[in-house]
Every structure is written in structure tokens, then in C-alpha cells.
């Protein structure tokens, strides 16, 4: 199963990247994940292990993916396994004309994956992915608007 979502954000790439990679601040803007932190490493980099909790249904699921690829301002890939399901999640960042598009692609497989299909997990995870991207957009555009207002306020009059 593959879940693919994308969103375009009206904010500088550096701002979007900072919001996404600063796991310690995720709970200030992220409505999808709770208990967000690095277990190993202190920044988004290959080998770092991230921890967070998702709630696709009523029971929370603790996730601890390991970052396998991190190309600053371009791409993050993490992967992990939980409850017999293996997942690889890729986030790609593209900048064009002052906007950033994030493409999120998550691939699932594993011996117990058939259970996820029976429980219609695909639809839930698609909605969570969409919400995560919308949250990133909201946070980045709010920061960009605040920075722009600060620039205008700092100009003499």
C-alpha cells in the first residue's frame, strides 16, 4: 500500500525545513503526533531515531522510525516497523517561485499487513498524512507572515 499526499506552502524553504526538522517543537503546531522527540541523535540526520505517538483509531500507537536519508532542504526518509507492518516514509521538498511543495510518500508492507487492509487503515492514514501536511503549511505560513510583518514594522515612518 502506498499513501501519497502533497501540499504547496507559501513560505521560504528554510522556514518550512526548520519547522519540519525541529522535532522538539512538533507538539506546538502538530495535531497528528504527540510525545515527539529524538531517541537517538539531536537533529534530523541519518541514523537518528525519532519517537512520536499516532492515534489512527482510539488506541495510541507509539512509532519509532529511524532516519535513513536526510538531504537538508531536499528530502527526509525514515523507516520503521510496528505490529508486523514495515513502513518507509519519504518527505520531499521542492521550491519554485517562492513556494514550497512537500510530497509525502509512505509505503507499507509486512507479514501482518493484510490486517491493516481489513481495518481500512489506509483511509485513516491518508487523513492523518493530509492533516500533518496542512499543519506544516499553517505553521510555516504563520511564521512567514510574522517575519514579513516584523520587517514592515521595523521600517521607519
Domain 2-148 CATH assignment equals 3.40.640.10: no
- Residues of the chain with pLDDT below 70 are 56-58, 112-121, 147-157
For position 69, what pLDDT does the model report?
Answer: 98
98-136, pLDDT tens digit by residue?
Answer: 999 999 999 988 776 656 555 556 778 889 999 999 999
Q: How far apart are CA 131 and CA 31, in angstroms?
A: 7
For position 90, what pLDDT does the model report?
Answer: 98
Q: How far apart are CA 4 and CA 16, in angstroms?
A: 19
pTM over 0.85: yes
For position 118, what pLDDT does the model report?
Answer: 53
Domain map (residue ranges) of the chain = 2-148
For position 85, what pLDDT does the model report?
Answer: 79
How many angstroms from the chain centroid is the CA of residue 36? 11
How many angstroms from the chain centroid is the CA of residue 136? 8
Amino acid at each position: 500500500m502506498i499513501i501519497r499526499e502533497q501540499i504547496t506552502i507559501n513560505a521560504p524553504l528554510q522556514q518550512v525545513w526548520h519547522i519540519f526538522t525541529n522535532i522538539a517543537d512538533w507538539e506546538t503546531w502538530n495535531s497528528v503526533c504527540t510525545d515527539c522527540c529524538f531517541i537517538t541523535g539531536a537533529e534530523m540526520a541519518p541514523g537518528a531515531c525519532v519517537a512520536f505517538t499516532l492515534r489512527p483509531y482510539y488506541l495510541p500507537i507509539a512509532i519509532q522510525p529511524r532516519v535513513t536519508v536526510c538531504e537538508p532542504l531536499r528530502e527526509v526518509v525514515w523507516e520503521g516497523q510496528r505490529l508486523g507492518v514495515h513502513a518507509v516514509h519519504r518527505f520531499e521538498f521542492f521550491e519554485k517561485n517562492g513556494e514550497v511543495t512537500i510530497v509525502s510518500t509512505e509505503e507499507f508492507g509486512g507479514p501482518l499487513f493484510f490486517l491493516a487492509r481489513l481495518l481500512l487503515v489506509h483511509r485513516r492514514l491518508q487523513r492523518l498524512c493530509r492533516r500533518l501536511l496542512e499543519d506544516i503549511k499553517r505553521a510555516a505560513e504563520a511564521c512567514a507572515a510574522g517575519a514579513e510583518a516584523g520587517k514592515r514594522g521595523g521600517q521607519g515612518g
